[in-house]
Amino acid sequence: MSIIIDLNSDVGESFGAWTLGDDARVLDYVTSANIACGFHAGDPQVMLQTVRLAHDRDVAVGAHPGYPDLVGFGRRAMACSPQEVYAFCLYQIGALAAICQAEGVRLGHVKAHGALYNQSAKDVTIARALVQATRDAAPGLILLGLPGSRHETAARELGVPFAAEAFADRAYERDGSLVARSRAGSVLHDPQEVADRVVRMVREQTIETAEGASLHLHADSICVHGDNPAALAIVERVRQALDGAGVRVGPLRDVLSL
Amino acid sequence: MSIIIDLNSDVGESFGAWTLGDDARVLDYVTSANIACGFHAGDPQVMLQTVRLAHDRDVAVGAHPGYPDLVGFGRRAMACSPQEVYAFCLYQIGALAAICQAEGVRLGHVKAHGALYNQSAKDVTIARALVQATRDAAPGLILLGLPGSRHETAARELGVPFAAEAFADRAYERDGSLVARSRAGSVLHDPQEVADRVVRMVREQTIETAEGASLHLHADSICVHGDNPAALAIVERVRQALDGAGVRVGPLRDVLSL
Amino acid sequence: MSIIIDLNSDVGESFGAWTLGDDARVLDYVTSANIACGFHAGDPQVMLQTVRLAHDRDVAVGAHPGYPDLVGFGRRAMACSPQEVYAFCLYQIGALAAICQAEGVRLGHVKAHGALYNQSAKDVTIARALVQATRDAAPGLILLGLPGSRHETAARELGVPFAAEAFADRAYERDGSLVARSRAGSVLHDPQEVADRVVRMVREQTIETAEGASLHLHADSICVHGDNPAALAIVERVRQALDGAGVRVGPLRDVLSL
Amino acid sequence: MSIIIDLNSDVGESFGAWTLGDDARVLDYVTSANIACGFHAGDPQVMLQTVRLAHDRDVAVGAHPGYPDLVGFGRRAMACSPQEVYAFCLYQIGALAAICQAEGVRLGHVKAHGALYNQSAKDVTIARALVQATRDAAPGLILLGLPGSRHETAARELGVPFAAEAFADRAYERDGSLVARSRAGSVLHDPQEVADRVVRMVREQTIETAEGASLHLHADSICVHGDNPAALAIVERVRQALDGAGVRVGPLRDVLSL
């Protein structure tokens, strides 16, 4: 049996006159696009263009809802109630779903952005709001999130398909959490090192922690970035390494056998 | 054959801590709710609550997209390109569609708000953008708009079902346009006078113009307001007068025999 | 020596088409107006109109900056850095200062709004950012805040005049903090009871806690609300009671002998 | 007597996570910085950083207010009333003024942005609103605008110092207006050609029109751009050419002998 893994990236993060990232290029390498939905980044035209870019490359489209915080890029924790989170996730997913509908594209998954990702990973009431919106916005959406976190708990509870993601370029602690960005060595920059780690993650379901121990890690998808040339160099190398190792890079739906 | 007419009203125009209008009451009288979608008014929670209010009263739900101008309540003309209008209408309609989906409600129609309504009534490129978004966001949506305007032109061109609306409380010019709000007598305030006009509009398809002439006017729906007690008094009287005159007040879909 | 106290109220909280509170009436009773600055409420025209209303009634004008969260009315905690808080407070205070300049009014004080008030009361880094912005935006501004909190700490540290406020209609714990709104009895509704408490606060510098103990409390200003008829009834009664008790109700500058 | 000219550029147009232009570099060449004020671009932190960059280079600081249209970058015409324009210009100028005050910098001028620039150049009621805000926000501010337009009319009427700007890289019609961007040759791209034109503009107060005629043109300031490497190359060449021609490049205040 061949191994299959999804590669996902956050795209569509431009806004109005402002461009962020090189979506056309990163979408050449990944199989899932998490498209910003206008609250922390993205605007309706950017969303439409990004859906088209993904569709042209046969990349699966997902919604990437975030907090209503444009100036903070959705990275600042906000004390929103579960009711608020539910409603604004539904809103954002629906906005993208209509754009997909117009382009003849199936909306396939949802991944929370930034502080919403982090808060829903820790707080099950926020996670449930996110998962309920995922379940209610359209039938069959997959939640893409952090394995072992409240993302997974809430998705299992509510019967929403869950896909686990790992981070190509981040150092891990022994408990499977990410080393805080404030610590030295938390983010890896060498393309070959990252590519080697990803191949090992996928083939052996293990990763070496910051302290050198071996950690079991199951991932359905690997998150990569395309917001600068160095990030793109990593994506390219990761994709080549996976292809070279005989790993099939394919959409979440195939990984989860849905 | 009995006559049937729809009554529509703009609702869901509250935002965050700010309340506008008495939606629960106006929804007791109308058959179509045009729900603001967050760009000029409405927020995700208000949208959800308004869909529930409409659903509870068996009132048909429509999207009421507007310009991205919260402080101007979507009433200020903006020089948006057709591409911009298309994308932000798709976005807004989709956001409401997902909320409807979550509540088990069918989204039935689209009516533009404020300056977008006025500009799309006059400019066929804007009208086409609105109608294309209506057509592309979900199958079978009806465009509710101004008869004889570019709303109707574009809907006919693109094969989108069109419902014509008349205004209960506005004075008409001889050419069927509305008397400008800046002129005296442009808005009618007496509930009985408005109710009598509406009954005549519906039964005889005529209306008396500001100058006293008789004007032919076909309407599938009558637009009423609920944003203040005087407006509500008018809605109540109009509904009573229609019921009393044996006119069936029913949803757009029935009026258009869809 | 006569006793003197300031009465302050949050005003200018309307936005665009949405009206909140009856500013013209509450400004008949208070001596300090905390005017929202466009981030959580208020827009430039509302700010201008509110400065005029205050000026007409000889009410001192202060800035009421809040988090950039319109839909949440600035009530949701946000993880903003001190640098962010400093910059957006400076921005909001300056915006109001120019409107005051245009109207020939002296901007006199700053009071944080909602979640920014609460977070700066607890977190000294946020409090310092608020106080630095108060100090840097214009010479001589007073910080109005919670006595014994980080508001006071930071103001003393940075040499900014501090005015302590008490809440007319809130129950107090033994340590001088407010009883949480979620608890029964946390908000007082009887105008006479509130008025009696305020007179005692001012004359005896004590207040009865929720448990019936007597608590020492020094206040330079009493915060009252005007956002509904019941709140206005309380303001009116409080003002009458103070006038009747021979307490002079006057501006912060006089209370602090600046 | 030596000739003196100001060079101005629009800066501070980044927003949150999005960067636009290379402000640090363009500020090495110009003498006036028009800083975006948060409505169409810029946020409080960007404004603060931009004021510091300008201050470090001894570049004069001006406010660059625009329409409240972030997604449209203030480039879309909006039907705002003069009252709205007055209030939001006052607001934006004041916000920047407080940031200048905090940095010990004198705010010196105001230049409208994008669609507000264009609409106020044509419509005297909008121009007056802009000029009144300039006059009322702080004493002594200069309006920088289009010579012969309503900018100049309104500034003269209201006694506000007016500085005329010319565009280094734009082709001119015979009547002194700019060739529409939609026409071929409307924007000049060759640094040496632009530099030669600017030197001639400054020394001879003439410019060659698109049709080859010679047009009289008085400018107090030349507008240059820094939003891409090609634009920066032009700015650098223009500055070198002026320096080489013995023209003093200096602040507006010196140009106008204020």
pLDDT tens readout for residues B157-193? 999 999 999 998 999 998 888 898 889 989 999 999 9
**Residue B253 has which token pair?**
């879909």
Contacts of B71 in chain C (CB under 8 A): 15-16, 43
Between helices A114-122 and A124-137, what is the axis angle to 10°? 120
Element (DSSP H or E) covering residue A144: strand A142-145
Q: Distance between CA atoms of C149 and D159, rounded to whole angstroms?
A: 49
Q: What is the per-residue pLDDT across C49-77, written as a single tens digit (0 to 9) for each? A: 999 999 999 999 999 999 999 999 999 99
Segment B34-43 shows an average pLDDT of: 98
The residue among B136, D16, D200 whose CA lies nearest residue A40 is D16
pLDDT of residue B1: 52
Q: First vs last Cα of chain D: how many Å apart?
A: 17
Average pLDDT over residues C1-18: 93
Q: ipTM score here?
A: 0.96
Secondary structure (DSSP) of B103-133: HT--EEEE---HHHHHHHHH-HHHHHHHHHH
Residues of chain D in contact with residue A20, where contact means CB-CB under 8 angstroms, are: 17-18
Q: Helix or strand or coil: residue B1?
A: coil
**Whether the predicted pLDDT of A1 surpasses 70:** no
In chain C, residues with a C-beta closer than 8 Å to the C-beta of B70 are: 15-16, 70
Q: How far is CA A99 from CA A62, A96, B45, B86, in A?
A: 12, 5, 22, 10
**Interface of chain B toward chain A, CB-CB under 8 angstroms:** 38, 43-45, 47-48, 83-84, 87-88, 90-99, 101-102, 133, 136-138
Q: How many residues does chain A have?
A: 258
What residues contact residue A170 under an 8 Å CB cut-off, 6+ apart?
A: A178, A179, A186, A187, A188
Give the distance from residue B134's alpha carbon to the nearest chain A alpha carbon, in angstroms. Answer: 10
More confident residue, B208 or B118: B118
- DSSP track, C4-54: EEEEEEEE---BTTB--S-HHHHTTT-SEEEEE-SSSS--HHHHHHHHHHH
- Taking an 8 Å cut-off on Cβ atoms, the answer to whether C43 and B16 are in contact is no
Q: Is residue D2 pLDDT above 80, yes or no? A: no
Taking any CB pair shorter than 8 Å as contact, residues of chain A touching chain B are: 38, 43-45, 47-48, 83-84, 87-88, 90-99, 101-102, 133, 136-138
Percent of chain D surpassing pLDDT 90: 88
Distance CA C93, CA C64 (A): 8
Q: What is the 3-state secondary structure (H, E, C) of A168-199?
A: CCECECCCCCECCCCCCCCECCCHHHHHHHHH
Q: In A, what residues contact C, Cβ < 8 A?
A: 68-69, 71-72, 76-80, 84, 115
Residue written as tokens 């009530």?
Answer: C75
8 Å CB contact between A186 and A241: no
- Residue in B49, B88, B91, B99 to test binding to A, most A beta-carbons within 10 Å: B91
Checking if the pLDDT of B138 tops 70, the result is: yes
D80: which chain B residues are within 8 Å (Cβ-Cβ)? 72, 76
Q: What are phi and psi of C142, to 5 degrees?
A: -95, 140
Question: B36 contacts in A (CB within 8 Å)?
Answer: none
* CATH code, A4-169+246-255: 3.20.20.370
CB half-sphere exposure, C214, CA atoms < 13 A: 5
Tokens for A60, please give them. 């699966």
| Interior angle at CA B42, CA B40 and CA B46, nearest 5 | 180
Q: How far is B66 from chain D (nearest CA, A)?
A: 14
CA distance D18 to D43: 11
What contacts A182, CB < 8 A, 6 or more positions away?
A: none
Cβ atoms of residues C125 and C98 within 8 Å: no
| Whole-number average pLDDT of chain B | 95
Residues A180-192: tens digit of each pLDDT: 888 998 999 999 9
State if pTM tops 0.90. Answer: yes
**Sign of the alpha-carbon dihedral angle for A196, A197, A202, A204:** positive
Residue D97 tokens read as 């003024």
Cβ atoms of residues A87 and B47 within 8 Å: yes
The radius of gyration of chain C's CA atoms, rounded to the nearest angstrom, is: 17
Instruction: Give the C-alpha separation, D106 to A188, whole Å.
Output: 45
Give the max Cα distance, chain A: 49
pLDDT in tens, A123-137: 999 999 999 999 999
The Cβ of residue C230 has, within 10 Å, a number of other Cβ atoms equal to 12
Residues A173-183: what's their mean pLDDT? Answer: 87
CA–CA dist C228, C21 (Å, integer): 6
- Identity of the amino acid at A114: G
Closest Cβ–Cβ partner in A15, A71, A73 for D71:
A15
d(CA C198, CA C192): 10
The Cβ of residue A159 has, within 10 Å, a number of other Cβ atoms equal to 9
Number of helices (H), then strands (E), in chain C: 9, 10
What is the nearest CA distance from C251 to chain D, expressed in angstroms? Answer: 24
pLDDT tens-digit profile of C180-227? 888 998 999 999 999 999 999 999 999 988 888 999 999 999 999 988
Going from N- to C-terminal start, the domains of chain A cover 4-169+246-255
According to the model, what pLDDT value does residue B2 have? Answer: 75
Specify the residue for token string 């214009």.
Answer: C138
- pLDDT for D147-203, tens place per residue? 999 999 999 999 999 999 999 899 999 888 888 888 998 999 999 999 999 999 999
The 3 state secondary structure assigned to B136-189 is HHCCCCEEEECCCCHHHHHHHHHCCCEEEEEECCECECCCCCECCCCCCCCECC
DSSP state of D247: -
Which DSSP category does B231 fall into? H
Amino acid making up residue D55: H
> Mean pLDDT across the stretch A197-218?
92
Look at residue A4 and tell me whether its pLDDT is greater than 90: yes
Total residue count of chain C as it appears in this document: 258
Note whether D42 and D21 are within 8 A (CB).
Answer: no
What's the pLDDT score for residue D72? 98
CA distance C42 to chain D (A): 11
Which tokens go with D110?
Answer: 């105001």
Q: Residue C144: what residue type?
A: L
How many other CB atoms sit within 10 Å of the CB of residue C36? 29
- The two beta strands, C162-167 and C221-224, are parallel
Q: How confident is the model at residue A205, as a pLDDT?
A: 94
Mean pLDDT, all residues of chain A? 95
Quick: pLDDT tens for A73-125: 999 999 999 999 999 999 999 999 999 999 999 999 999 999 999 999 999 99
Beta bridge partners of B86: none
Contact criterion met (CB below 8 Å) for B78 and B126: no
Mean per-residue pLDDT, B126-133: 98
d(CA D246, CA D249): 9
Residue that has been written with the tokens 């208070």 in this structure: C30
What gap in Å lies between CA A220 and CA A200, rounded to an integer? 14
Q: What is the pLDDT of residue D13?
A: 98
Q: What does the alpha-carbon distance between residue D218 and residue C148 come to, in Å, rounded to a whole number?
A: 61
> What pLDDT, in 10s, does the model give residues D80-109?
999 999 999 999 999 999 999 999 999 999
Q: Over pLDDT 90: what percentage of chain B?
A: 88
The DSSP string of B66-111 is: --S-TTTTT-S-B---HHHHHHHHHHHHHHHHHHHHHHT--EEEE-
Average pLDDT over residues D29-42: 98
| Average pLDDT along chain D | 95
Residue C204: per-residue pLDDT = 94
The better pLDDT of the pair C16, D225 is held by: C16
- Pull the structure tokens for residue A175: 């408990």
Rg (CA), chain D: 17
Tokens 């948060």 sit on residue? D38
Choose among C19, C9, C79, C1: nearest CA to C222: C9
Q: From CA A8, how far away is CA A31, in angstroms rounded?
A: 6
Q: Count CB atoms within 10 A of the CB of residue D75.
A: 18
Radius of gyration of chain B (CA): 17
State yes or no: pLDDT of A2 exceeds 80.
no
How does DSSP classify residue B65? -
> Looking at residues D15-27, what average pLDDT do you find?
97
Pairing mode of beta strands A206-208, A214-216: antiparallel
Residue A226 is predicted with a pLDDT of: 84
**Could you give the 3-state DSSP secondary structure of residue D179?**
coil
In sequence order, what E strands does chain D have? Answer: 4-11, 32-36, 60-64, 107-110, 142-145, 162-167, 206-208, 214-216, 221-224, 248-249
Chain C: closest CA distance from residue B10 (Å): 14
Structure letter (DSSP) for residue C249 = E
Q: In this structure, what are the phi and psi dihedrals at residue A214, rounded to the nearest 5 degrees? A: -100, 130
- Which residues on neighbouring strands pair with residue D107, listed in sequence order? D61
